[in-house]
Amino acid sequence: MRERFGKVAVLLGGTSAERAISLETGTAVCEALRRQGVDAHPVDTAEPFLDRLVREGFTRAFVALHGRMGEDGVIQGALETLGMPYTGSGVLGSALAMDKVRTKWIWQSRGIPTPDFIELEHESDLNDVEGRLGFPVMVKPVREGSSCGASKVKQGADLHAAWEKALALDARVMAERWVEGTEYTASILDGHALPLIRLETPREFYDYEAKYHADTTRYICPCGLDPDTEQRYAGLALAAFRALGASGWGRVDFLVDRAGNPWFIEANTIPGMTSHSLVPMAARQAGIGFDELVLRILETSLEREERR
């Protein structure tokens, strides 16, 4: 049965700020596929790789890249040009989800609650932040993931430094109204939301350190919500994911304020698959082990192949 996949390239590494996490994700994915008899091989996209995919007879790709030049539609477009099936979202869904500003425009147009924001196109825009959003705010690159370059800003005196920190990673920077509340994430697999996870960290927010290194981060699943509320939030997360044209698998992050209102922050079309990653945790709560999860993600490439 595994022969139907043929020779699988696990695309990993790349050149984004999330390269190290992608290497972890891709290695874990490749090992899981091999344990199940799939002919899987790691392919680092930081090196010339398109010719290699053709030359070595790969039949499909498991995209395990994070950040730009991997999660933003660029690699997906290249694979479309080759006619090679791949996992996860297509070009449009990948590109939109990677761009936090356009994500929020679409969500606003569809009535999906998301915090107010300003794109900081010029240094002078910093003067508008307090009047339009108040403090605190979250300042972050528009097209980065894993909270790279993100800062919580509590007062105007710290705004410029946060802007420069984000600007070092992306020419586009945004400030977003801070939502005081509880953070949740909804993992999505083949059109269904997995059990929600509640995130708790003693740090200022769920930053890069909390996501990948800190032992103090708590992941609560079952999340503690009553079933009706969890189902409502999960339904909104699915709607948010689909509104972007995303498909296959992914994750949607949101906060719930003290009044119980959800606020959607961002969508991830290629979430991490490391020891600290959230999708495997949610899948495990649903009775899906890591190896089965990886295989089910690979099966999304078959659906893309059939649609062709």
Residues designated catalytic: 18, 146, 212, 251, 253, 266, 268, 272
Instruction: Look at the block and give the residue holding tokens 């509320």.
Output: 229
Is the separation of the CB atoms in 87 and 298 below 8 Å? yes
Is the separation of the CB atoms in 53 and 21 below 8 Å? no
Cβ atoms within 10 A of the Cβ of 288, count? Answer: 18
Is the separation of the CB atoms in 115 and 177 below 8 Å? yes
Helices (H), 65-219: 74-82, 91-98, 100-109, 129-133, 159-167, 208-212
Instruction: Look at the block and give the residue holding tokens 């490439």.
Output: 301
Tell me which DSSP letter residue 196 carries.
P
